[in-house]
Amino acid sequence: MTSLTQRIQNPRGFWLVISILLLFQFCLGLYSAQKLSVTHDEYWHLPVGLLGWKTGRFDYDRLNPPLIRSWSALPLLFTSARTGNPEHSSDPADYGDAFLKANPKQDHHYYVLGRTMILILATASGLLLAIWARELFGAPAACLAVFLWTMSPNILANAALGTQDLAIAGFFLATVYCGWKFALQDSWKWALITGAVLGLAQITKYTAILLVPILILQWFLLRIKNPEIKTETAKKTILARWGALFLVSCLVLNAGYLFQGSFQPIRDYQFHSSELKILNQLPKALQSIPLPLPQDYLLGFDLQRYIMQQSHPTYLDMEWRLTGFRSYYVYTLIYKLPHGIQLLLILAAFQWIKLRRTTLLSLRLLGVLLTPVLLLVGIASLSNNQLGLRYILPVMPFLFLLIAPLAELIDREKHKALTVAIIVAVLSLPFSLRFAPDHLAYFNELSGGPENGSFHLIDSNIDWGQDLYRLKAYLEEHPVDNPGLAYFGTIPPSTLGTAYRVPPELHPEPGTYAISASLLQGRPYSIRKMDGSRHNLGTDALGYFRFFEPTERLGYSIDVYELTPEDVYRWQNAVNQARMGLMPSR
């Protein structure tokens, strides 16, 4: 162990280890990117990004800022990819339909190119994680942090998709790192860098608005009554640097939208969210104040906040609620974090408490690393719209940084039991990748694994439409006339090349059916019919399929059923018996 530590301490050995780990993650992610079908939101993200490049407009779908869509679509500019010239639509899936129609043979290749750009961001985020962890705790700790990053099925799942979730996790890490540098050095250089990175985060995902209070809290945590900070800076200079930070951030945000609609007066907007509606209630004299933000950013943020404030069906442990679960994300972490990481978090918590007075593990640093975790999980837990672990993915790098110092405590002579526990936990982590390429559907062993994940969580936690290609291969191998299909995804299932029908609602009929896991557990959804039109499924419309055992499971997100007349009779008999049991005796 000493020899290995010495090699890692050497810069050449250190970067060799980091490079091998990140290359492994990139290759495994590329394998997933090639194997999985286009996921739910991903279907329109890439086409909207390409539309942005072609038209310079950002109003096709305002629910997400443009940076990552544009980044993902960048390689498509060097191909023959076409947008299909869609009309402006309130349904973003229409942009995906137009893209699919315009590129019928190359669409998957183009989506893989877009996914590869996210994998590049995952590699860059891993490098930054290595740099910060080494500055904080040393080379062995940095290697452990990057090992956790590359062995996390949740990180890998999102790194292989053309969505914003992995990117915003990286920008959270980058912004807090730059803010840490700025707080310690208090220089113009780091004020400007932090502002630029904060601006990039704002045009990645609206969640980045939380970085503003995080940076301010971080500043006070690191500087107030800190004897290790020797420099005395005038208050005017400090305020000027903070002003420059926010000015640069605002400039980058506006530049990301090409300054379109910037500085429009409040009276030109009609907001709907509780946060921004207040502006419309200001006195008329103040309504002429220009807002220094792009129109599409403000309207998108307002729409996103309005949607998040509405009642939305949320599923947890076989129960549905319209107002969400305050414990949703706690249980999500319990079910979807590998047990090795959970054990390391417990060990790290004890060590932070035990060694909190040391220079290495100070309370100030603990506060810096915990603030994003607590703020993100806390706010997400209060939301009515809870759709998956991806909403709190930015907490992951900070959890890994909290664990990283354990690497410095590995010593078989001084800490024998602790060393064994750390090594066992670390060695177990590669096994969490054994479900490749199905990292999206990962659930740990005590939760029942991905086979039983849908009993706990659905939607992007396990079923985001990623297994349509598997269904196509299955139907080619097992031809069926007019099967029933209820697919939780936005890509038209008609691309399978097989005619299908909508399954009967609330009661079974004999036949072959393919049902997505989210719909199996009762999620209301508007599914695609064979002709491309929509059919609205109510809550638990297909829940009767839970009575039957699937004959085949395709990638953990689609179950195939072969229902016979005898199966239907068994269901009817069970329903009748249940009704008789509920009837009062006479």
3-state secondary structure 40-72: CCHHHHHHHHHHHHHHCCCCCCCCCCCHHHHHH
Distance CA 407, CA 205 (A): 33
Contact 117, 30 (CB under 8 A): no
Using the 3D structure, point to which of 409, 433, 457 is the last residue of a domain: 433
**Quick one: 305 and 319 in the same domain?**
no
| 120 pLDDT higher than 80 | yes
- Are residues 143 and 49 part of one domain? yes
Nearest CA-CA partner of 137 in 350, 351, 413? 351
Note whether 229 and 290 are same-domain residues.
no
404, 145 in Cβ contact below 8 A?
Answer: yes
Q: Which of 235-239, 241-245, 309-313, 475-479 has the lowest mean pLDDT?
A: 309-313
Residues 190 and 58 in one domain: yes
Token pair, residue 54, equals 């072609």
Would residue 18 count as lying in a domain?
A: yes
Q: With a cut of 90, say whether residue 5 has pLDDT above it.
A: no
Q: Is residue 100 part of a domain?
A: no
Q: Which of 335-339, 359-363, 463-467, 577-581 has the lowest mean pLDDT?
A: 359-363
- Rounded Cα gap, residues 322 and 523, in angstroms: 12
Task: Tell whether 377 is covered by a domain.
Answer: yes
Q: Are 142 and 21 in contact (CB under 8 A)?
A: no
- What is the per-residue pLDDT for 496? 87
Q: Tell me which residue has tokens 């896991």.
A: 517
pLDDT in tens, 259-308: 999 999 999 999 999 999 999 999 999 999 999 999 999 999 999 999 99
> Looking at the predicted structure, is the pLDDT value of residue 227 above 90?
no
3-state DSSP percent of the chain in helix, strand and coil, to 5: 60, 5, 30
Q: Of the candidates 55, 60, 130, which has an alpha carbon nearest to the alpha carbon of residue 92?
A: 60
**148 closest CA partner among 368, 326, 406:** 406
- Domain membership of residue 447 (yes or no) is no
Q: Residue 4: which pLDDT band, with cuts at 50, 70 and 90? A: low
Q: Is residue 452 assigned to a domain? A: no
Distance, first Cα to last Cα, the chain? 77
Closest Cα to residue 309, out of 383, 207, 208?
383
- Average of per-residue pLDDT values in the chain: 94
Domain match, 85 and 173 both? yes
3-class secondary-structure state, position 351: helix
Number of other CB atoms surrounding residue 504 within 10 Å:
14
Alpha-carbon distance 61 to 326, whole Å? Answer: 29
**What does the pLDDT look like over 435-463, one tens digit per residue?**
999 999 999 999 999 999 999 999 999 99
For the segment 375-412, what is each residue's pLDDT rounded down to a tens digit?
A: 999 999 999 999 999 999 999 999 999 999 999 888 76
Do 564 and 416 belong to one domain?
no
Phi, psi of 176 (to 5 degrees): -70, -35
Distances (CA, A) of 467 to 36, 62, 458, 504, 551: 6, 28, 14, 22, 16
Over its C-alpha atoms, the chain yields an Rg (Å, rounded) of: 26
Yes or no: say if 308 and 384 are a contact pair by the CB < 8 Å rule. Answer: yes
Q: Chain centroid to CA 147: how far?
A: 20
Q: Which of 275, 294, 309 is the last residue of a domain?
A: 309
3-class secondary structure, 233: coil
Contact criterion met (CB below 8 Å) for 453 and 461:
yes
Same domain? 403 vs 513: no
Q: Report the residue count for the chain.
A: 586
Q: 334 and 211 share a domain?
A: yes
The strand pairing partners of 560, in sequence order, are 514, 552
User: Residue 203 has which token pair?
Assistant: 């045009």
Measuring CA to CA, which residue among 149, 154, 157 is closest to residue 130?
A: 149
526 strand-pairing partners: 536
The 10 Å Cβ neighbour count of residue 92 is 21
* pLDDT at residue number 104: 93
Average pLDDT over residues 102-108: 95
Contact 530/494 with Cβ under 8 angstroms?
A: yes
The three-class DSSP label of residue 301 is helix
**Is 11 inside any structural domain?**
yes
When comparing pLDDT for 456 and 225, which is higher? 456
- pLDDT score of 1 more than 80: no
Counting the structural domains of the chain, the total is 3
Q: What is the pLDDT at residue 359?
A: 57
Residue 283 is given by DSSP the state -
> 190 and 114 in one domain?
yes
- Judged on CB neighbours under 10 Å (0-12, 13-18, 19+), 529 is middle
Residue 306, burial from CB neighbour count under 10 angstroms (0-12, 13-18, 19+): middle
The secondary structure of residue 481, as a DSSP letter, is S
Same domain as 112, residue 128: yes
Any domain includes 457: no
Give the model's confidence band at 584: pLDDT under 50 very low, under 70 low, under 90 confident, else very high: very low
Specify whether 422 is located in the same domain as 563. no
pLDDT bracket for residue 60 (50, 70, 90): very high
Distance, CA of 369 to CA of 133 (rounded, Å): 11
Helix axes 416-428, 339-354, angle to 10 degrees: 150
For the entire predicted model, the pTM comes to 0.95
DSSP, res 562: E
Interval 108-131 mean pLDDT: 99
- Report the SS3 class of residue 315: strand
- Are 231 and 276 found together in one domain? no
Residue 103 lies in a domain: no
DSSP code of residue 429: G
Range of the domain at 569: 467-582
Mean pLDDT (whole number) for 45-61? 97
